Structure 1
Amino acid sequence: MDYDMAASFWERKTSEFPMEESELRGAVDAFIGRHKICALATGSGDFVRNTPIEYNYTGGKFWFFSEGGLKFKALKDNKNVCLAIYEESSDFGSLHGMQIYGVAQVVEHFTSEYNKLLEYKKIPLDAVKKMEEPINLIKVVPKEIDFLNSDFKKNGFDSRQHLSL
């Protein structure tokens, strides 16, 4: 198996019919807005974790409230993450999915940024302050997005589009 050749597939295949950035950004935002759950992949050394988790997307960033878990073991050493958002489909010609590469930050409890997300989610600050262990907040700033959408072909574009942020 030539792993390097397989890994470079999309790098070697140039997009013949790219979308205008503003149109692609609109499609990306619409897709993200239609979903609420993603897979959050984290890793450090030989340890990897992929967590299904509810997200909020606001201000161009992804936000995750989490009680804890092994994702934090990886985030301690490696802030690079990947999110996957996709729709179930058994039809090869009807694929809709997105990979988002970004950098994670664990937001300190009760900072203005943390409190703003509590308010956005309508979670009472007083209730969180009474918790034995306050809920954690992860912020992911997207850097690259690969969007596979079979419907793009109907408008004359490649089904796979890339967005650098």
Structure 2
Amino acid sequence: MISSLIVYEETDLVAKKVSKILGCIVGNAKVCGLNEVTYDRSYRNLLVIFSNEQVDVVKRLFSVMDKLKTYHECNKTIVIECGGHPQYELYFASEMDDYYFILNKDKTYEIAAKIRETCSIEEKQMPEEELKQEIYHFLKEHNTGALATGINYQVRCTPIEYLFFNNCFYLISEGGMKFSGLLRNDQVSFSVFESYSSMNELMGMQVSGKASVIERDGKEFLEVFEKRGYLAETVEHLPIDMHIIKIVPNRYEFLCSDLKKKGYASKQIMVVNENHSR
């Protein structure tokens, strides 16, 4: 998987704090002070972070950037400046691919998410149709996942069976606290995965999407139960009301070690829009 080296200058406490946040969110990253950098391995991405209050720190980082990029064989260099207002974008222009300015802590999380997207793009992406077939095959080979719902401080992660057809997930439930979240926040996450055996045999999927509760008097409601093996008459005479959650996916993140055998990166991403394109 793609790895990143995140570097700050030890005396720059603001940069150190921001670096640790980025390290967690960007993921698969090594965070270290400039004096702690080792040259025993390569990293795909180099992130250099500094606050603009210490001119000597800025100059020191700039002076070693070329060495860092060369020794670590970095393909992408990102500069993150922290402080009252941006000052050094042009100063670093010749040494970087992307530049971000962080004004406050909230901005740190937002920018970290953007950088993760940039840094996690694999070079060996599968053709869209082939990837779609791999994803759908995996989902149809399984029937249980974990549904994450939430609103404010109320968060639930529920193990639950699912049906997957018409490019949507359908989850049958008697009710529960997960509905307290999804009825007020329709953005959900759903995961399906194999048991862990080793780092060379990883297989799992994270899905982001929009959830809704299907109306009981519609054809879709009965169709789901029929695919589950229940007749309409049986459903109508159940002693309690059952509910069906429908998830329309907008993003699939598929991690599968076996994809390397086909010449592709082990992590693949498929974003779904109205035209079902990536």
Normalised by the shorter chain, which TM-score bucket?
over 0.9
Q: Which amino acid aligns with 1:37?
A: T
1:82 has 2:189 as partner: yes
Aligned match of 1:143? 250
SS at match of 2:269: strand
Cα pair distance change 1:161/1:116, threshold 3 Å: same
- How many angstroms apart in 1 are the aligned matches of 2:249 and 2:197? 28
TM-score (norm 2): 0.57
1:36-86 Cα deviation digits (max 9, x unpaired):
000011111101101110000010000011001111111121111111111
Aligned match of 2:89? none
Aligned match of 2:21? 3
1:108-139 Cα deviation digits (max 9, x unpaired):
11211111212222212222222343210110
The higher radius of gyration belongs to: 2
SS at match of 2:135: helix
TM-score (norm 1): 0.94
Cα pair distance change 1:110/1:122, threshold 3 Å: farther
SS at match of 1:73: helix
Q: Could you tell me how far 1:5 is from its partner in structure 2?
A: 4.2
Choose from 125, 136, 145 the match for 1:18.
Answer: 125
8 Å contact kept, 1:105–1:139: yes
Whose strand proportion is higher, 1 or 2? Answer: 1
Choose from 196, 201, 204 the match for 1:97.
Answer: 204
SS at match of 1:97: strand
8 Å contact kept, 1:84–1:99: yes
Choose from 27, 45, 49 the match for 2:134.
Answer: 27
Aligned match of 1:152? 259
- How many angstroms apart in 2 are the aligned matches of 1:35 and 1:3? 35
- How many angstroms apart in 2 are the aligned matches of 1:110 and 1:65? 15
Aligned match of 1:50? 157
Aligned match of 2:47? none
- How many angstroms apart in 2 are the aligned matches of 1:112 and 1:52? 26
Structure 1 residue runs without a partner (length 5+)? none
Structure with more relative contact order (C-alpha pairs < 8 Å, separation 6 or more): 1
Q: Superposition RMSD on alpha carbons, in Å?
A: 1.4
- Report sequence identity in percent: 34
8 Å contact kept, 1:100–1:146: yes
- How many angstroms apart in 2 are the aligned matches of 1:115 and 1:90? 39
Q: Could you tell me how far 1:105 is from its partner in structure 2?
A: 0.5
Structure 2 residue runs without a partner (length 5+)? 1-16, 28-115, 273-278
SS at match of 1:137: strand
8 Å contact kept, 2:183–2:212: no
1:120 has 2:227 as partner: yes
- How many angstroms apart in 2 are the aligned matches of 1:156 and 1:131? 51
